[in-house]
Structure 1
Amino acid sequence: MNIRQLQFFYRAACAGNFSATARAEGVTVQAVSKSMHELEEELGGQLFEREGRGMRLTPLGEALLEPARRAVESFESVGQLADTLSKGPAHRSDLRLALITPPFSKHEFICGIVARLMTQSLGIKTSLSVRIGAEALTDLHAGNLDALFTIGRLSAPGCTCVQIGTVSPGVFLGRRHPLRGRRQLSFADLAPYPVLWNDEIDGFNDTVLVTCRQHGLASPLEHVSTNEGVVNHLENRNGYIMGVNLKALSILPFAVMHDLDPVEAPTIPVCLVLLEGTRRPEVERLDQFCRNEFSLLKRLLSSGGTVAGY
């Protein structure tokens, strides 16, 4: 088994066919097919099943998907780092930060407020944007970002992940969901209903959903990757979304955030992710600020908006 095989496998799993994988990798379809055949022989089973014009993962393919994703991203991060080092260190005095989450209601406004607070408190020009995990991690290794904020722990090669605070999990229900009238929900209440899973988000770190599943949530997963899919999940599938329990998340009358039974609800860490090794003085000051002032940042986030879509 080699990294090229895993790259082809992961691209094919995401694209749903070998043709798109071949175009993205600059090789022939035959090369991708041959590589997948060799990988299947090594693993002793089939990774894909044809389905109409596309294909879907077998149980073996599903089991390999997450390890392959992590291996590919780690390999690409090393390549980005090597490229950055070969060009020499970038000299700048600002801070570029990313909050790892789907876009949420008023996220540009909230990020602007937080960035302004940090700029004033640290005396360092600071920018904050909402980003999806894998691309943000690549930019962190490349030096284009200085730090990531994650809801839930992240394990990534070459990075430190330090808890700077906590939040509580909540349940986001559509307007016609059978549980809409309940003020507080248990894992048992939720068990019959599908919960939204997004590979780019829940496959990146220990999100609210991942952590709740580790603590006993047993709802079936529904894989969704588009805004249209989110609407269908909430409106037509009696589905729900796990997220940070902030009432500002509610989009009345379309969907409302509900409390999770505090007896079952795990505490979700909010973490600051930095590169290992020597850091610029500006990044060290950011580290200390976040450890000491998270409660203020949390109040800002609670006041103006939260996750609203994918």
Structure 2
Amino acid sequence: MEHRQLVHFLAVLDSGSLTAAAQRVGLTQQALSKSLSRLESELGGQLFVRETRGMTATRLGESIAEYAREIIASAGKLRHTASAALGLERGRLVVGLSPIAAASLIGERLTQFAHNFPNIRIDVEGGIDRDFVAALHRGEIDIALSSQVGGQYDGILLEQVFVEPWGVAGCAANKRLQDAQSVADLADTKWILGRNTDLLDDIIAETFSNAGLPMPRPGIMTTSVLYSLHAISQSDFLAILPRSLCRDQNGVMWRDLSGGAWKSPIYLMRRKRAHMDELMRVLLRELKG
């Protein structure tokens, strides 16, 4: 079997569609189908059931998926190592970084690592934990640093490296937020809320309930952190945001009104069977402080 056949197999597996997979790998559907057929012939069994809704992996397909991911990831790492050894490129690491991790102490440590090792190229890819899991399996990134990890992922190691506090953020001139002693002082407040507090919703609701208030209802709902920060700095709206995202924002005040109860861990994510070279070991030591 060929390396590219495994790439084609994983593209179909991850997208669930022959059309989307063909676009991803830059082939026609007919060429991709032929590649899959050759791989099935070599393995002696069918890898997918072709249904009207898309492509569903058979038991054989599911059983070889993790091995295929390991081969693809290892091949990518081999190319990077060989290129560095031959002097064709500098040492290189690809790091996935979520917005909260990027703004936290972890982001600062990554920047300091790049400063300390100027011959190392660091490629930083934005995203969230679900994006990083797929990219780690495909060997597209070496590690990821992310908050809001909602459980365990097959084949992925999670290690907590930081805890990010959350609080109420608003305009620096907002007298009500300045004087508030707890969320009980924020009744009838206008809120901008996002969908990035999922794992904190229960404890946030409990804090407001203990203060005799319902869970905040959004006057504005957004997935844009940049919009939230701009809007609260220009209005009397309040938002629930991580401290790191607010600390360097002009015109924004951040208050811990939960007694430290609102906090989310930041995890280092990497593949369980990924090769650990010296460069990676040094980076992990730097990130953990």
Instruction: Tell me the TM-score range normalised by the shorter chain.
Output: 0.5 to 0.7
- In the alignment, what sits opposite 2:249? 250
Aligned partner of residue 185 in structure 2, secondary structure: helix
Matching of residue 161 in structure 1 with residue 174 in structure 2: no
Aligned partner of residue 89 in structure 1, secondary structure: helix
1:129 to 105, 124, 129: 124
Whole-angstrom CA distance in 1 between matches of 2:65 and 2:186: 43
Whole-angstrom CA distance in 2 between matches of 1:162 and 1:174: 35
Aligned partner of residue 162 in structure 2, secondary structure: strand
- In the alignment, what sits opposite 2:86? none
Count of residues paired in the alignment: 208
Unaligned runs of 5+ in 2: 1-14, 23-63, 82-91, 209-214
After superposition, what is the alpha-carbon deviation per residue over 1:210-269, rounded to whole angstroms, capped at 9, x for unaligned? 5752763532355303444664466456231321257733312xx22223353x534543
Whole-angstrom CA distance in 1 between matches of 2:66 and 2:202: 30
Aligned partner of residue 114 in structure 2, secondary structure: helix
Matching of residue 149 in structure 1 with residue 135 in structure 2: no
Whole-angstrom CA distance in 2 between matches of 1:151 and 1:261: 19
Matching of residue 89 in structure 1 with residue 75 in structure 2: yes
- Structure-to-structure mapping, 1:153-192, within 5 angstroms: 153-158=149-154, 159-175=156-172, 177=174, 179-182=176-179, 185-190=181-186, 192=188
- C-alpha change, 1:211 and 1:89, in structure 2 (3 Å) is farther
Aligned partner of residue 178 in structure 2, secondary structure: coil
Name the TM-score, length of structure 1 as normaliser.
0.50
Task: Tell me how far 1:157 sits from its aligned partner.
Answer: 1.7
Name the TM-score, length of structure 2 as normaliser.
0.53
Task: Tell me how far 1:274 sits from its aligned partner.
Answer: 1.4
- In the alignment, what sits opposite 2:56? none
Q: Percent identity?
A: 12
- C-alpha change, 1:84 and 1:164, in structure 2 (3 Å) is closer
Q: Could you tell me whether the CA contact under 8 Å between 1:215 and 1:266 is conserved in 2?
A: no
- In the alignment, what sits opposite 1:44? none
- In the alignment, what sits opposite 2:8? none
Matching of residue 272 in structure 1 with residue 258 in structure 2: no
- C-alpha change, 1:79 and 1:246, in structure 2 (3 Å) is same
- In the alignment, what sits opposite 2:204? 213
1:113 to 111, 114, 126: 111
Task: Tell me how far 1:174 sits from its aligned partner.
Answer: 2.3
Matching of residue 283 in structure 1 with residue 280 in structure 2: yes
Whole-angstrom CA distance in 2 between matches of 1:104 and 1:248: 13
- C-alpha change, 1:148 and 1:87, in structure 2 (3 Å) is closer
Unaligned runs of 5+ in 1: 1-6, 9-22, 27-77, 294-310
- C-alpha change, 1:102 and 1:162, in structure 2 (3 Å) is closer
**RMSD over equivalenced CA pairs, Å:** 4.5
Q: Which amino acid aligns with 1:125?
A: I
